[in-house]
Amino acid sequence: MKAALVLGTQLFEHSSATVDAELILFVESEWAFRRRPYHQHKIVLLLAGMRHAADRLEGSGRRVARIPLSDGVRFADGLRTLLRAHGAEHLSWMSATDRGIDSRIQRLCEAEGVRTEIHPDALFLTPAADLDDWFAGHPSARMEDFYRWQRRRTGILMEGDAPVGGRWNFDADNRQPLPRGGLTIPPLPFPEPDALTGAVMEEVARRFPDHPGDAADFWLPVTPDGARAWLADFVARRLPAFGPYEDAMAAGEPFLFHSVLSPLLNVGLLTVAEILDAVLAAPDAVPLASLEGFVRQLIGWREYMRGAYRANPTLRDANHFGLTRRLEPWWYTGRDIPDDLPVPVRTVLERVHRWGYAHHIERLMVLGNWFLLQGYHPREVFDWFSALFVDAYEWVMIPNVQGMSQYADGGGVATKPYVSGGAYLQRMGSWWPNDRAARESEFTAAYWEFLATHEEQLADNPRLKLALAQMRRRRTP
């Protein structure tokens, strides 16, 4: 009997791995959800997504077998139980993005005498082999080179061999703070949870009460149809202003003009191709700077990060600055946050507890920046991001956290540590009452201290020459 396995991050409407299967298997592993204190919203997304996927398959006449969530069930035990109970002789599945999962399933099948067939990972646009070839051929792999290769390879936003609009990059038009007096920011189209999702929300609240977040506030779509409506709303209402304000921050605005597509994209509720089709068909009124800015994130940064993850298996344990501090419990609980935590960090931390989400600049320049300035161990930081964010998976976390934000590899993914004082944060987010307060903030003091402490390790980086010179001038009496 031919069976297929669907993982929680593979909720695709169509999957080559399930097409021929006589039986489709779903395992809800409680143990996996307890490996870290995962945000309740992430657990709801995965569980409700899996249950909806299983129901859809059954509704279209397919046979489905499930191991429902129950105390302490491990994934491997659940899968073994299903294979034995149904006499499976052959198992197909889509290659998992995180390292080690495919080989674990394969070993289990071998032990059970089950033949295996692994299908390509459909979470990305770039075939894994092409991505690996590119990274192998570019030892100092820079995102900008990767992105141009990607644009040329796919023909996206290209006119012959030239980029549409004559430029690869519209950053000079982007990276603006919100205008004084603010802007109207279209609210997200939060879906009303259906009965299945509502039941999952209650179950998660009951089973995982100590995990961050409140399942009762769950806010994301959990089906491909819901995800497509969410995408359409982004293209119609937020994409036009995405570019100019992609780096902006505002204390009362968690989403601004961001797409909030990563939670859906990373579990297969949307494909990259679907998103590209939607944004490239956007009305002409969408400025090229916004369109290109978004495409760069999607087919540039996202695919590049996957490649960096595959190319650097040791990145997980890197610790360039030899940092040792452990995270205090309040990062996880959201309770008893110290009064002297700088206002941007406190605001974004509270936001992450509420939504399991913060946008890119808040992750990089508020949270990541603060973690690095404070000397937290990069693995501690990785564990925290992994637990708290609804879109967090190892393949995307390791290059973004250890690589980009904590500079733990000493400059493989990022060309300099992303550290700053209060002045940058004030310019992009007006976090303090005035510029002087930002300059005199705890954040700025931590920045100078970091540069002084790590002066020797930073001295060779041409992008830090100016900052180090400023730091030395301040030190000179």
Taking residues 195 to 234 in sequence order and writing x for each that binds ligand FAD by CB under 6 A, - otherwise, the string is ----------------------------------------
Taking residues 344 to 363 in sequence order and writing x for each that binds ligand FAD by CB under 6 A, - otherwise, the string is ---------------xx--x
List the structure tokens of 406.
């904590």
CA separation for the pair 103, 105 (Å, rounded): 5
Name the nearest CA neighbour of 43 among 54, 30, 24, 27: 30
Contact between 260 and ligand FAD (CB under 6 A)? yes
CA separation for the pair 25, 128 (Å, rounded): 25
Q: How far is CA 186 from CA 145, 256, 261, 413, in A?
A: 34, 8, 16, 34
Among 4, 105, 231, 396, binds ligand FAD (CB under 6 A): 396
List the structure tokens of 475.
């030190």
Q: Tell me the Ramachandran region of residue 380: left when phi exceeds 0, alpha when psi lies from -120 to 50, beta otherwise.
A: alpha
Contact between 29 and ligand FAD (CB under 6 A)? no
Give the interface segment with ligand FAD, choosing from 105-113, 175-183, 254-262, 345-353 (CB under 6 A): 254-262
φ and ψ of 158, to 5 deg? -120, 150
CB of 369 to ligand FAD, least distance (A): 9
CB of 361 to ligand FAD, least distance (A): 8
CA separation for the pair 45, 469 (Å, rounded): 48
Q: E strand or H helix at 94, and its extent?
A: strand 90-94
Contact between 271 and ligand FAD (CB under 6 A)? no
Contact between 262 and ligand FAD (CB under 6 A)? yes
Name the nearest CA neighbour of 26 among 58, 66, 77, 60: 66
Give the interface segment with ligand FAD, choosing from 27-35, 198-206, 296-304, 322-330 (CB under 6 A): 296-304
* H-assigned helices in 208-287: 224-233, 262-265, 272-280
Site for ligand FAD in 360-379 (CB under 6 A): 360, 363-364, 368
Residue number, 255 or 447, with CB nearest to ligand FAD? 255
CB of 417 to ligand FAD, least distance (A): 12
CB of 477 to ligand FAD, least distance (A): 37
Contact between 261 and ligand FAD (CB under 6 A)? yes
CB of 15 to ligand FAD, least distance (A): 20
Contact between 391 and ligand FAD (CB under 6 A)? yes
Contact between 389 and ligand FAD (CB under 6 A)? yes
Among 29, 174, 197, 259, binds ligand FAD (CB under 6 A): 259
CB of 298 to ligand FAD, least distance (A): 5
Residue number, 3 or 392, with CB nearest to ligand FAD? 392
Residue the block writes with tokens 């395992």: 27
Task: Name the amino acid, one letter, at 183.
Answer: L
Contact between 398 and ligand FAD (CB under 6 A)? no
CA separation for the pair 98, 266 (Å, rounded): 11
Contact between 258 and ligand FAD (CB under 6 A)? yes
DSSP letters spanning 176-213: PPPPTT----PPP-PPPP-HHHHHHHHHHHHH-TTSSS
Residues in contact with ligand FAD by the rule CB under 6 A: 258-262, 265-266, 297-298, 301-302, 305, 359-360, 363-364, 368, 385, 389, 391-392, 396-397, 400-401, 404-405
